[in-house]
Structure 1
Amino acid sequence: MAEVAKPVYTTEYKPHSSEKMKAALWMGPKSIELGEVPKPTITAPKDAIVHITHCTICGSHLHMYSGDLNKAMKKGLIMGHEAIGIVEEVGPEVKNLKAGDRVVILPVIACGECFYCKRREYSLCDQTNPSKELELMYGHRLSGIFGYSTITGGYPGNQAEYCRVPNADLTCVKTPKEIDAKKLVALADVTPTAWHGCELAEVGEGDVVGVWGCGVIGLSIQRLAKFRGARKVYAIDKDANRLEIAKSFGMIPVNVNEHRDPADYILSVEPNGLDRGIEASGFRSTNSAAHATMKALGIEGDSSDTVTAVIKATRKGGNVALIGDFFFTTNNFPIGMLMEKTITLRGGQLFAQKYFPFLLDIVVEGKYDPSFIFTHEDNLENISQGYDAFFNHTVPGGLKVCLATAFGRAQK
């Protein structure tokens, strides 16, 4: 393998424009404020400036909102990595985009040139994340991500009126202008992340699949597993409303409040176990006293509860994928069960640029509609309340909010 390239992408937009824009700013735990900041300008020849029309709040942002990533946050960081908009300006080396194009901004910022990008493993990019902290934590850097802490590069996000997009030819995707905005925002992150979960688990024709989590990622994984030919899909959660949504899509609901050990229940009805088990609930998936105690004492960051259940419920020789975010360390990981059952375990952030052409095609062709994830619509100006509602599970309809900027509202 060639020597790892040093990161070359700037995460700051300098010099700043004298113009101002509205943006969602992280001001501390459970404090997101809509403030005024300088509008970004072209900083590098491959940049584009996108005038945002619609954006949304990602479940992964709850790490930052709740305070779990305090040490990796900087006051005033612009949040967000799921947005669409209209290109306003491009740098001199941008070849595939021009002013006026409607685009989806992908969350992963990749160089397209390093060892991993050439393998189309874009979230593993060597060049777009200068974080030494992440390298110390994991032994390597991962790609830059918009609006997602200093350990993913400190890039300003796109819960804002404008966004500077580095390496725009790879990070932006031109889209038809007539497609509903909610479908495109859902394609920015949720749908390719869900597809990534199916890819990691190798979901295929005739499989029996279990998905832990019925948030928008989990529900999308379930539906895409069916799209890929899965014979049965079990949906595991403790939220009755979300389980009803899963049931309405043809999934088999498993309520954790009724089956305290969902793995035992699944094995009672599927003695061979699941062919593919996918963890899509992540860091907020447990309320166990043991985890709360260890977390308070600083000896555990992530819980192994759902991971243990997934591995237990998966058949010998099956596949397990981790798509719910885990960042830190965990205790009581069932390494013996994983090893002795010959289970393949994979995880990681999405390869957005790899999947996007196919996913855009199936949406444009009407084969898959990802917009179901949005059960509420609102304005960017109300994003502070949106974070609070998302964190407390009080979003109308129970899933996700699509936020329109003033510019986006004027496009109708």
Structure 2
Amino acid sequence: MAKVLPPIISTDYKPHPIETMKAAQWMGPRDIQLGTVPKPMLTANKDAIVHITHCTICGSDLHMYNPDMKSAMEKGLILGHEAIGIVDEVGPEVKTLQVGDRVIILPVIACGECFYCQNEEYSLCDKTNPSKEMEQLYGHRLSGIFGYSNLTGGYPGSQAEWCRVPNADLVCVKAPKDIAAKKLLGLCDVTPTAWHGNELAEVGKGDVVGVWGCGAVGLSIQRLALLRGAKKVYAIDKDPYRLALAERYGSIPLDVSDYTNIADLVLELEPHGLDRAIEASGFRSTNSIKHKIMRGINAEGDSSDTVSAIIKATRKGGNVALIGDFFFNTNDFPIGAMMEKALTVRGGQLYAQKYFPLLLDLTTSGNYDPSFMFTYEDDFENVAVDYEKFNNHEVPGGLKVCLVTAFGRSQK
């Protein structure tokens, strides 16, 4: 292991001489606690320590909040992978960041050197995730992710007052200091994930697109699909409020709870089928009694309800993208229809680093505003209560909460 040299500190910045911080810790299913833990330190020459100003709770964090991922969790893990802040310290091999810089912390921890990183497939990085359990499950290990279970490396997350960022030149994006915090926070994960969904599905000018899910990611996919030139975007969900939001942003809402098989409705409206279909509702989404029972008795880990409808509703030769974090196994998957219809099906975690500076430029130029997803603001110290609200669909405004740390409040 390389010797860790003293950090570079700018002459006009005074480090915070404290040894502990507040952090959101996983203590068991549906048990998130605001704990006091040691402030992180530089442990490698390419590290940075970021003083968090704003963070948020992701829909995929609920996989850990609920019992779905408990076998991969460790008590005390700091959660979270969406945050922005100010660089507090940098290691001697950090080249593009300085103490005092405002940064977006990307969720994917990549090395920048392996075969996959060289091909800009950063979430497939070979070097940043030591999980043998993932290698056993999938045959290979994927990248590390902040605060996202031991399957992705067990890295402490960014729902905290400070965060250690490995390979900071690649994992942090330097951001303007005059851009609203919520715009930058929306660029951490949701917007690049939504762009990734459009990229995987190859959404382009004139396409008819269907998006299953109208949470923050689903709505972002829809808005970006229209920005990319899609002719029509169908928004498919069962939440009336979110469907109304989708319609406000230019999509055509379809309430899945009104129909026995939503794919049949889509094909009535679009007999040719969807050119591109994107799943953004998550592996816990079930509509049929059969799959609810199978998940209830642990006969499957994921549900194929939504994917089955997508495959049926997509035109022959069309594209399907899976964004909603499938982890395990499913039953009754329509492999015949997928093969015979010559569909291209792609999935995977976002290639976050690949999509910058494009997405930052779209935002700073005013062509796209990701701050719409934050329908509620709260103090970071209330994070445990906000997890419960988010899980119970009780977040004011229905989408995401912007959590502001004490340091963030001091910057206003």
Distance, in Å, in 2 between the alignment partners of 1:151 and 1:305 is 25
Partner SS state of residue 187, structure 2: helix
Partner SS state of residue 371, structure 2: helix
Correspondence 1:9-408 to 2 at 5 A: 19-408=19-408
Q: Are the aligned partners of 2:26 and 2:77 in contact in 1 as well (CA < 8 Å)? A: yes
Distance, in Å, in 1 between the alignment partners of 2:109 and 2:317 is 35
Q: Are the aligned partners of 1:85 and 1:102 in contact in 2 as well (CA < 8 Å)? A: yes
| Range 286-295 or range 142-151, more displaced | 286-295
Distance, in Å, in 1 between the alignment partners of 2:297 and 2:393 is 27
Q: Are the aligned partners of 1:322 and 1:348 in contact in 2 as well (CA < 8 Å)? A: yes
Q: Are the aligned partners of 1:148 and 1:157 in contact in 2 as well (CA < 8 Å)? A: yes
| Range 38-47 or range 250-259, more displaced | 250-259
Distance, in Å, in 2 between the alignment partners of 1:356 and 1:311 is 31
Q: Quick one: which amino acid aligns to residue 219 of structure 1?
A: L
Q: Are the aligned partners of 2:282 and 2:323 in contact in 1 as well (CA < 8 Å)? A: yes
| Range 369-378 or range 280-289, more displaced | 280-289
- Encode CA deviations 1:162-216: one digit per residue, 9 max, x unaligned: 0000000000010000000000000000000000000000000000000000000
TM-score (structure 1 length as normaliser): 0.95
Partner SS state of residue 310, structure 1: helix
Distance, in Å, in 2 between the alignment partners of 1:330 and 1:24 is 31
Distance, in Å, in 2 between the alignment partners of 1:356 and 1:333 is 35
Distance, in Å, in 1 between the alignment partners of 2:266 and 2:297 is 33
Gaps of 5+ in 1: 1-6, 11-16
Q: Which residue of 1 aligns with 2:12?
A: none
Q: CA deviation at 1:376?
A: 0.3
Q: CA deviation at 1:300?
A: 0.3
Q: Are the aligned partners of 1:147 and 1:157 in contact in 2 as well (CA < 8 Å)? A: yes
Q: Which runs of 4+ in 1 moved over 6 A?
A: none
Distance, in Å, in 2 between the alignment partners of 1:122 and 1:283 is 22
Q: Percent identity?
A: 72
Q: CA deviation at 1:298?
A: 2.4
Q: CA deviation at 1:84?
A: 0.1
Q: Are the aligned partners of 2:18 and 2:39 in contact in 1 as well (CA < 8 Å)? A: yes
Distance, in Å, in 2 between the alignment partners of 1:381 and 1:284 is 28
Q: CA deviation at 1:289?
A: 2.4
Distance, in Å, in 1 between the alignment partners of 2:111 and 2:285 is 33
Q: CA deviation at 1:18?
A: 7.0
Partner SS state of residue 257, structure 2: coil
Q: Are the aligned partners of 1:320 and 1:345 in contact in 2 as well (CA < 8 Å)? A: yes
Q: Which residue of 1 aligns with 2:7?
A: none
Partner SS state of residue 283, structure 1: coil
Partner SS state of residue 220, structure 1: helix
Q: Are the aligned partners of 1:18 and 1:38 in contact in 2 as well (CA < 8 Å)? A: no
Q: Quick one: which amino acid aligns to residue 290 of structure 1?
A: K
- Encode CA deviations 1:265-289: one digit per residue, 9 max, x unaligned: 0100100000001000012211432
Partner SS state of residue 368, structure 2: coil
Q: Quick one: which amino acid aligns to residue 178 of structure 1?
A: D
Q: Are the aligned partners of 2:287 and 2:305 in contact in 1 as well (CA < 8 Å)? A: no
> How many residue pairs are counted as aligned between the two chains?
399
Q: Are the aligned partners of 2:45 and 2:92 in contact in 1 as well (CA < 8 Å)? A: yes
Q: Are the aligned partners of 2:25 and 2:79 in contact in 1 as well (CA < 8 Å)? A: yes
Distance, in Å, in 1 between the alignment partners of 2:260 and 2:296 is 24
Partner SS state of residue 68, structure 2: coil
Distance, in Å, in 2 between the alignment partners of 1:18 and 1:258 is 55
Distance, in Å, in 2 between the alignment partners of 1:23 and 1:348 is 28
Q: Quick one: which amino acid aligns to residue 215 of structure 1?
A: G
Q: CA deviation at 1:117?
A: 0.2
Distance, in Å, in 2 between the alignment partners of 1:261 and 1:350 is 30
Distance, in Å, in 2 between the alignment partners of 1:171 and 1:277 is 30
Partner SS state of residue 154, structure 1: coil
Distance, in Å, in 2 between the alignment partners of 1:312 and 1:287 is 15
Partner SS state of residue 42, structure 1: coil
Gaps of 5+ in 2: 5-16
Q: Are the aligned partners of 1:101 and 1:174 in contact in 2 as well (CA < 8 Å)? A: yes
Distance, in Å, in 2 between the alignment partners of 1:50 and 1:191 is 21
Partner SS state of residue 85, structure 2: strand
Partner SS state of residue 282, structure 1: coil
Partner SS state of residue 205, structure 2: coil
Distance, in Å, in 2 between the alignment partners of 1:115 and 1:342 is 29
